[in-house]
Amino acid sequence: MTDIAEFAGSGRSGVPMLLGGLATVLAGAGLVALGVVAEAPALLVPGIVVALAGAVILLGLYMLQPNKAAVLTLFGAYRGTDRIAGLRWANPLYNSAKVSLRVRNFTTQPSKVNDANGNPIIIAAVVVWKVTDTARASFGVDDFVDYVEIQSESAVRQLARSYPYDSFDDDVEVSTLIGDTGEVNQNLAIELQERADDAGVEILESRLTDLSYAPEIAEAMLRRQQASAIVAARAKIVEGAVLMVRDAVEQLEQGSGDGDAIPLDRDRRATFASNLMTVIASDTPTTPVVNVGTLGH
């Protein structure tokens, strides 16, 4: 593809050209009217020529709104871009095609694709973009709007294949779609920008808006996540229970003063720790059995 870049065109303010064109048309019409009234055929031809010249001048006028540009071409050759808003004028032989420079956004269609672990997921993203190079947007691709949308769909699918949806192995650090949204969105923007350069488009923002497991595995994955959460919670409870039992045994044996220490032998220490662990770590309230006798019976 021939590398083409935008440069400023030869457009100018259209107000003076509008006034000049109207004056020329009126002057030509006046000559024609004078020739008819005075029965002077010699004035008709110059009058018609002058009026046509004024009409040709008026054909070069075009209007530009803010954040719009006119791509000027002459017999298919690019002659520059006019970005100045207002009434503008260029060579009447130029063809001026309007291109919007305003910020646009769209949401990709939710797509089902396999993540890095092969699990089917549903993913979609919102893309915010604008045209920065009107020459590439007009001549680099066939339809830059359609191009950006299709390439965005492709980039989102490629991104989904590069990351796992979630990681269930705490011992291995890995970036995931659900856990590292900042990194994922940044890489999506980089991938999109590489694809959009050919269309003269700048990607302002891109982020995932829809991310979930596909329906056929969603229930199984939910149970897996719940099981992982339960295991993690139980591990935390057991860890805390061990510390509480250890502190309780130490405080009983040390006591708070002279004569109130409760020494425990190995068997009694094990029995006390077992009972206390059962009370603390149990899922349901425990029903204790009270020993009303002595410790030896």
Which of 89-93, 175-179, 225-229, 231-235 bottoms out in mean pLDDT, i.e. has the lowest? Answer: 225-229
Task: State yes or no: pLDDT of 151 exceeds 80.
Answer: yes
Task: State yes or no: pLDDT of 36 exceeds 80.
Answer: no
pLDDT, position 51: 87
Residues 175-185 have a mean pLDDT of 83
Nearest to 279 by CA among 250, 245, 253, 246: 245
pLDDT, position 128: 95
3-state secondary structure of 166: coil
CATH architecture assigned to 104-213 = 2-Layer Sandwich (3.30)
> Confidence band (pLDDT; 50, 70, 90) for 1?
very low
Rounded to the nearest 5°, which phi and psi values hold at 83?
-110, 0
pLDDT digits (tens, 9 = 90+) for 254-264: 766 666 677 76
How far is CA 106 from each of CA 103, 125, 151, 152, 254, rounded to the nearest angstrom? Answer: 11, 9, 13, 10, 70
Bridging pattern class, strands 120-131 and 201-213: antiparallel
Residue listed under structure tokens 């050919």: 198
3-state secondary structure of 29: helix
Task: State yes or no: pLDDT of 218 exceeds 60.
Answer: no
Angle at 273 between CA 270 and CA 279, to 5 degrees: 140
Burial of 236 (0-12, 13-18, 19+ CB in 10 A): exposed
Question: How are strands ordered across the β-sheet holding 12-13?
Answer: 12-13, 86-89, 61-64
Residues 37-45 have a mean pLDDT of 77
Q: How far apart are CA 129 and CA 190, in angstroms?
A: 13
How far is CA 234 from each of CA 48, 166, 248, 277, rounded to the nearest angstrom? Answer: 97, 21, 21, 13
pLDDT digits (tens, 9 = 90+) for 21-33: 899 888 888 888 8
Q: How far apart are CA 185 and CA 159, in angstroms?
A: 9
In one letter, which amino acid is 75?
A: F
pLDDT digits (tens, 9 = 90+) for 198-213: 899 999 999 988 888 7
Instruction: Name the residue ranges covered by the structural domains of the chain.
Output: 12-100, 104-213, 219-281
Residues 185-191 have a mean pLDDT of 90
- Hey, which residues does 259 pair with through a beta bridge? none
CB atoms within 10 A of CB 166: 19
pLDDT, position 235: 73
- 8 A C-beta contact, residue 49 and residue 31: no
pLDDT, position 98: 92
- 8 A C-beta contact, residue 159 and residue 133: no
- 8 A C-beta contact, residue 131 and residue 200: yes
- 8 A C-beta contact, residue 140 and residue 1: yes
3-state secondary structure of 262: coil
User: What's the mean per-residue pLDDT of the chain?
Assistant: 82
Ranges of beta strands (E only) in the chain are 12-13, 61-64, 68-74, 77-82, 86-89, 95-100, 104-107, 111-114, 120-131, 201-213
